[in-house]
A and B are shown apart, each in its own frame.
Chain A
């Protein structure tokens, strides 16, 4: 049994597709290549198998995702996670919010910021730098986007360099994309053990 969850949490749920993922046994050579399946590694997530329906997009998005979230320099890893989290909260992508809140807390070795955000939403008590980052990413994620000159000015006032600001724009924008896959194509669920 699986129960769909609707509340923000750092406890990462399972992701249950709303449509039928590609079956590995029936995958084309191009899909197998994109999935990087080797004989010793045939455990592929349902999420990636679902995206394999559009293998050309999957092949370009995975390296782009990794570059935006993990490439060296620029904005810190945890502040990129904060940008991703802000977008995921706006779009109510419970799964993405859980993954990126969890990563933020683990990198920082501190749950204060993500606890506050899940408890109080955009009114959470944040330090000035976190406040500027969160608000810019949150407004950027609105549809249509509402981040403006004052939000950009707040980032600069908080001490972000242009390289850091660019990384924040990228991470928040990337989750405009990721949320529209995760949240649209599947449900975040808790699996209850067999009774």
Chain B
């Protein structure tokens, strides 16, 4: 895969011949590793409690919370019948996911306010420690990817 076909450069609209692409050529490895990280958090071999559809829906939700509709659309296309959960106003109560979604939203956009109770609350809701780590990695990667994309757009002169 060319680095220009990776999610981050494609969604950021980086032109193959532009000045930004020239800067990126010096960091080719980082763009490749960013795509490998996306694959690891969205489509891991061992998905634990969170299947690939649900992960895609959560990624779309976090992208929306970061106000990146283009990235949200990218993930939403892979969310299957979990797509409704990508809407930040959806609580997930009907799917038994209200604790998970509340945690995702807070880690994504009120990071500084996270406290020990947020983690123990998930444990009380029956989420295994390994799955809490998996959930954090997914949300945390999206925090990185949305900011990388936003920065690349700014480099190319976006408002």
Binding site for B on A (CB under 8 A): 18-20, 50-51, 53-57, 59-61, 63-64, 67-68, 71, 73-74, 90-93, 140-141, 143-145, 147-149, 151-152, 161-163, 165-167, 169-170, 172-174, 176-181, 183-185, 187
Contacts and interface: CB of A to CB of B under 8 A. Distances in A.
A169 B136 contact: no
B131 to A, nearest CB: 8
Given A143-B66, A144-B109, A51 B133 contact: yes
A176 B123 contact: no
Interface residues of B, number: 58
A170 B151 CA distance: 8
Nearest to A30: B46
B148 A173 contact: yes
Nearest to A165: B155
Given A54-B137, A91-B111, A176-B140, A64 B67 contact: no
A20 B23 contact: no
A147 B150 contact: yes
A163 B137 CA distance: 28
Given A147-B151, A165-B23, A166-B23, A91 B112 contact: yes
B123 A56 contact: no
A162 B147 contact: no
Interface in B120-159: 120, 123, 129-130, 132-134, 136-137, 139-141, 143-148, 150-152, 154-155, 157-159
Nearest to B157: A149
A149 B67 contact: no
B119 interface: yes
Given A54-B130, A177-B140, 13 more contacts: A19-B119, A54-B134, A60-B40, A64-B36, A92-B112, A143-B65, A143-B143, A144-B146, A149-B154, A165-B155, A176-B144, A177-B141, A181-B140
B132 to A, nearest CB: 6
Nearest to A175: B144
B116 interface: yes
Nearest to B34: A64
Contacts of B34: 64
Contacts of A50: 133
